Amino acid sequence: MIQCLTFGMKGHCGCMGSVLAASSPTPPPAPGSGVVQGAPGLVSVPPGFSMPSVPPPSVPGQPAGETGSPLPNPGTYEECHRKCKEVFPIQMEGVRLVVNKGLSNHFQVSHTVTLSTLAESGYRFGATYVGTQQTGPAESFPVMVGDMDNTGSLNAQVIHQLTSAVRSKIAIQTQQHKFVNWQCDLEYRGDDFTSAVTLGNPDVLLGSGIIVAHYLQSISPALALGGELVYHRRPGEEGAVTSLMGRYTGNNYVATLTLGGAGAHATYYHRANDQLQLGVEFEGSMRTQETAVSFGYQLDLPKANLLFKGSVDSNWVVGAVLEKKLLPLPLSLALGAFLNQKKNTFQCGFNVTVG
């Protein structure tokens, strides 16, 4: 539930300016990134992908043990599986028109019209504000993102860097006038570890709520280990679930494994070359007694302004999404189709993004 709220903000976080909005209509970038100005050609690794640091050569005459290079910060717990997840296409249904308009360097609005047979059609207005406190070349704070649909349902997030190491986020989701989700999280980034605490739907009167604690520690430049603790409480019921995670980063691959009471989740991300990225995912749940494997790939052809994602999984679902930028117009088209061979169902969608 908490992860769904974090990822519920589609296309808002970090998309300032026409360049970014046109280049990545889906999926949403990492939360917390304010002004994200991609610089094609400067970096050869996908955003968020960190290469293991190369230890400096030891000085002659000095024992090797004394020249240990500092371990890098391992990133956040949620980002561990994200590299592989981003390779897979997102299921699209119906027609969606998105118009993004940057009103200034700090403020952007968006209009989204959705026509769908499965979900409700409607209009959604979104606004993004990025503050002036610049903490990095591509990060500015505070970031305020909100959108409201024609029924009055609101999604809002405020992300702020409190200190150089502490970042906070507040997220609210309402369904018309009723608050459905509200959560607050605090993240601390140390030199070689990251810890975060999230408080979800706290209700002091009822005595209910959810607390999620994450910790991720760099063991070596390539290996990071961590854990998650989820404690939930409501009148008459309380419980806790723990899980452990390990992530190994190679030269051009990332392998992540999460084991817990809920089940197992393993992902493997591989960057074959500049054009091709592949992802394999395994999910198994002891509670529902179900397992699934998915294989996905992403073909990126910047010279052709084309991005193609395809996937196939063990439930006999085959899907693909084609994204094409129509330069020099600030226009981006996305076509998606998903076919479920077992259930004999077909779903397709068409998105147009302007600006």
Cβ distance 26 to 12 under 8 Å? no
Number of residues that bind another protein (CB under 8 A): 24
Could you give the C-alpha distances from 310 to 29, 48, 313, in angstroms and in order? Answer: 20, 21, 10
- 175 vs 314 by CB, closer to another protein: 314
Work out whether 287 is an interface residue with another protein (CB under 8 A).
no
Cβ distance 170 to 157 under 8 Å? yes
Q: Which of 212, 208, 153 has the alpha carbon at shortest distance from 177?
A: 153
- 166 vs 272 by CB, closer to another protein: 272
Considering the complex, what minimum distance in angstroms separates the CB of residue 270 from another protein?
Answer: 4
Cβ distance 246 to 256 under 8 Å? yes
Partners of residue 229 on adjacent β-strands: 213, 242
Considering the complex, what minimum distance in angstroms separates the CB of residue 282 from another protein?
Answer: 4
Partners of residue 244 on adjacent β-strands: 227, 259
Work out whether 238 is an interface residue with another protein (CB under 8 A).
no
- 240 vs 301 by CB, closer to another protein: 301
Site string for another protein, 61-100 (x = CB under 8 A): ----------------------------------------
- Residue from the set 3, 67, 135, 291 that interacts with another protein by CB under 8 A: 291
Work out whether 266 is an interface residue with another protein (CB under 8 A).
yes
The β-bridge relationship of strands 345-354 and 276-285 is unpaired
Work out whether 273 is an interface residue with another protein (CB under 8 A).
yes
Work out whether 104 is an interface residue with another protein (CB under 8 A).
no
Stretch that binds another protein, among 39-47, 150-158, 215-223, 267-275 (CB under 8 A): 267-275
Gap between the Cα atoms of 188 and 173, Å rounded: 24
Q: Which residues bind another protein (CB under 8 A)?
A: 253, 266, 268, 270, 272-273, 275-276, 278-280, 282, 284, 289-293, 295, 299, 301, 303-304, 314
